[in-house]
Amino acid sequence: MRKRIFPGACVALLLAACGTTQPRLEPAPAPAGPAAAAAPAVQRIAEAWVSAPTPAEELDSLATWTTPDGDTWLIATAKSTHRLVVYDAQTGQRLRTVGGEGTALGQFDRPNGVAVYGDHLFVVERDDHRVQVFTLPDFAPLGSFGGDILRSPYGIWINETEPGELEAYVTDSFMYGKRFDQVPPWRELDQRVRRFRVQFDQAGRLRAHYAGSFGDTHEDTALRMVESIAGDPANDRLLIADEDTRHASTLREYSFSGRYTGVSLPQDVFGAEAEGVALWACPDGGGYWIAVDQLSPLTTFHLFDRLTLEPRGSFEGQVTAHTDGVALHAIATPRFPGGALYAVHDDKSVSAFDLRDVAATFGLAADCVH
């Protein structure tokens, strides 16, 4: 869910296009045909825990990291306080905060997307227009990239293309108009996802190079408002959440080359904005995608088959609502031997679901939770 802080005038990055106007986009009418079967009932799965609320933070995105001692940290971005919040992923106890408002390395201006790869933490800053990289566990800043390219970045997903080289996919949801709520011209929507090649040299120094952008530019299938992104290298699949409910809030499938496949998860699955998305991979090559439907009073979590994208069921918690980001931690821990799904709750807390409960509720593959 986007709670934007808009400047009083168009910033230089938006140039003259800030005056562009576009008509309100309404959903296309459904094609005529036989009535669809009724959707299965949404199941209820109780949260394992919900952290103490901190309303001032405006939490958004989540990532997990396993410490050298075997503990698990849950790292959340806090947009309004311009910092990171670190939780104990076993209990939800708040451990520490990192950073504060500013433009220097180690400081943040509206941090949003977050990802962990190895012992490196990547944090997307919407209003500093960059991605900062840190080492863990000390949160020492190594540098940043994208500051000369990104315009309004939100989400990030990291993929290892070969040993020692990463590829960072960053969603860039720049908008036009006085209130920054107008979708850019179609020809500019091929910039919705930016790709960067990232390396760390033998001294641990950061090196990053821009590798281009992609996005469909057709009126019916373009990525209009983007944030969450996740990938499945084994199946050459990226799922990108388009949040624009004025048209079709959905998940669109792209290949790693940046080609839109023409496949989107059914619009009628999402009752609100399509938000966080995570892959739950199983040892046999199967698995499930979990996608957020940002509903109130309770968020709905949709499950889709990893290979076919067919729906496998939907569930909600007892309290979790207005979810933005999610993180799936499939590694066994003392509290969650089958892994856990973590979700932001109402911008002020984080909640945890035991994956064993999810698997039992929907009769999912047993090897996914062992």
Instruction: For residue 253, list its beta bridge partners.
Output: 239
For the chain, give percent helix, strand, coil, nearest 5. 10, 45, 45
Give the span between the Cα atoms of 99 and 101, in whole angstroms.
7
Note the pLDDT of residue 296. 86
For residue 299, is it left (φ>0), alpha (ψ between -120 and 50) or beta? Answer: beta
Q: What does the pLDDT look like over 80-137, one tens digit per residue? A: 999 999 999 999 999 999 999 999 999 999 999 999 999 999 999 999 999 999 999 9
Show Cβ contacts of residue 55 under 8 Å, excluding neighbours closer than 6 positions: 347, 348
Mean pLDDT score of the chain: 90
Give the span between the Cα atoms of 78 and 99, in whole angstroms.
10
**What's 25's DSSP letter?**
P
Amino acid at 259: R
Answer whether residue 349 shows pLDDT above 50. yes
**Short-list 36, 18, 58, 10, CA closest to 325:** 58
Note the pLDDT of residue 5. 42
Q: How confident is the model at residue 248 (pLDDT cuts 50, 70, 90)?
A: confident
| Domain 52-369, CATH class in plain words | mainly beta
**Short-list 130, 114, 118, 204, CA closest to 160:** 118
Note the pLDDT of residue 1. 52
Q: What does the pLDDT look like over 21-49, one tens digit per residue? A: 333 344 444 433 334 445 678 999 999 99
Phi and psi at 15, nearest 5°, equal 50, -150
Note the pLDDT of residue 30. 40
Is the distance from CB of 314 to CB of 301 less than 8 angstroms? yes
**Short-list 316, 306, 323, 302, CA closest to 353:** 316
Note the pLDDT of residue 38. 55
Q: What does the pLDDT look like over 167-222, one tens digit per residue? A: 999 999 999 999 999 999 999 999 999 999 999 998 899 999 999 999 999 999 99
Give me the percent of the chain exceeding a pLDDT of 70. 88
Instruction: Let me know the angle formed at the C-alpha of 266 by 314 and 306, rounded to the nearest 5 degrees.
Output: 60
